[in-house]
């Protein structure tokens, strides 16, 4: 009995669940990515269409593998991916990111550093859409759905936010050309803001569609640089000039000073709203005392 109890403790230990969750979800997505090789070379589909189909399937696979795994593993309903709140949270997440990205570009425009050279057909949005939606779904399922959620359940919201910020800071501090503002912007956006919207809504749909819209708007619509999205087509062929603080230089407008300020304000607002809704989770040792 003791051995069984010890084994159960290991299996259900948060770190174990993180590793299992990441391996299962990432493994399923990787398998789906490999399946692109199954398309025949003489297929009438274009490369962009193939990528779009694979991207949509990968997004669905990330969601479904997470739902089935943790429904079985944790023996609970997966409320964070409930369809009842899908449209509300998906729409608000998408619009919030689009508004923030538009404000960031607007600041550069006011400075005289943003010029649209040419407007391309709407079809030029497809490659960026595919890359952004895959990144939004897969990254948020792994980071917010697995890592942050399990950290928060054990250590509480505040400590989970601190760890999330530190992890993103450490991961990007050693990057080539990394600056204080590029690292700070990443910490606030990816480490705090996206976690804050999850804490506020308790839905993964909001951060998923926020992440998607953020990665979609910056390079695909406004023609800015996004280090995580590599595309050669966008809606606006634009010229972005000005000081690095405003343009983000090689890291793009998303890593500018105005981006840092706007996202910090948004993060504080969402955390304040989450606190008012009593959505903060106490660490396990305080839960036991209660």
Q: Are 190 and 168 in contact (CB under 8 A)?
A: yes
Average pLDDT over residues 20-39: 88
Identify the band that residue 50 occupies on the pLDDT scale cut at 50, 70 and 90. Answer: confident
CA 257 to chain centre: 20
Angle subtended at Cα 106 by Cα 220 and Cα 211, rounded to the nearest 5 degrees = 45
Domain boundaries, the chain: 84-289
Identify the band that residue 1 occupies on the pLDDT scale cut at 50, 70 and 90. Answer: very low
pLDDT tens track for 123-169: 899 999 999 999 999 999 999 999 999 999 999 999 999 999 999 88
Full-model pTM: 0.93
Nearest one of 147, 141, 140, 136 to 56, comparing CA atoms: 136
**pLDDT at residue number 284:** 83
**pLDDT at residue number 71:** 95
Nearest one of 105, 97, 98, 263 to 184, comparing CA atoms: 263
Identify the band that residue 11 occupies on the pLDDT scale cut at 50, 70 and 90. Answer: confident
Q: Are 71 and 78 in contact (CB under 8 A)?
A: yes
Q: What 3-state DSSP class applies to 267?
A: helix
Distance CA 207, CA 80 (A): 11
Q: Are 62 and 178 in contact (CB under 8 A)?
A: no
Residue 58 has pLDDT above 50, yes or no: yes
Q: Are 133 and 212 in contact (CB under 8 A)?
A: yes
How confident is the prediction for the chain on average, in pLDDT?
Answer: 90
């Amino acid at each position: 009995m003791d051995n069984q109890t010890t084994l159960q403790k290991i299996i259900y230990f948060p770190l174990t669940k993180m590793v299992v969750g990441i391996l299962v979800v990432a493994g399923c997505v990787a398998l789906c990515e490999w399946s692109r090789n199954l398309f025949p070379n003489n297929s009438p589909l274009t490369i962009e269409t193939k990528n779009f189909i694979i991207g949509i399937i990968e997004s669905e696979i990330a969601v479904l593998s997470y739902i089935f795994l943790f429904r079985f593993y944790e023996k609970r309903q997966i409320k964070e991916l409930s369809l009842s709140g899908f449209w509300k949270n998906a729409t608000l997440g998408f619009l919030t990111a689009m508004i923030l990205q538009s404000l960031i570009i607007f600041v550069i425009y006011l400075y005289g550093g943003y010029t649209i050279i040419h407007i391309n057909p709407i079809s030029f949005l497809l490659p960026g859409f595919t890359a952004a939606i895959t990144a939004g779904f897969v990254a948020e399922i792994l980071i917010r759905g697995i890592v942050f959620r399990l950290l928060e359940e054990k250590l509480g919201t505040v400590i989970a936010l601190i760890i999330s910020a530190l992890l993103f800071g450490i991961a990007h501090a050693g990057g080539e050309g990394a600056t204080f503002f590029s690292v700070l912007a990443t910490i606030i956006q990816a480490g705090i803001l996206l976690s804050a919207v999850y804490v506020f809504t308790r839905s993964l749909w909001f951060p998923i569609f926020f992440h998607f819209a953020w990665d979609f708007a910056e390079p695909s619509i406004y023609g800015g640089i996004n280090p995580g999205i590599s595309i050669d087509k966008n809606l606006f062929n634009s010229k972005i000039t000005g000081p690095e603080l405003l343009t983000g230089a090689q890291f793009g407008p998303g890593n500018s000073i105005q981006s840092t300020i706007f996202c910090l304000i948004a993060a504080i607002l969402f955390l304040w709203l989450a606190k008012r809704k009593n959505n903060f989770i106490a660490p396990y040792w305080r839960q036991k005392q209660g």
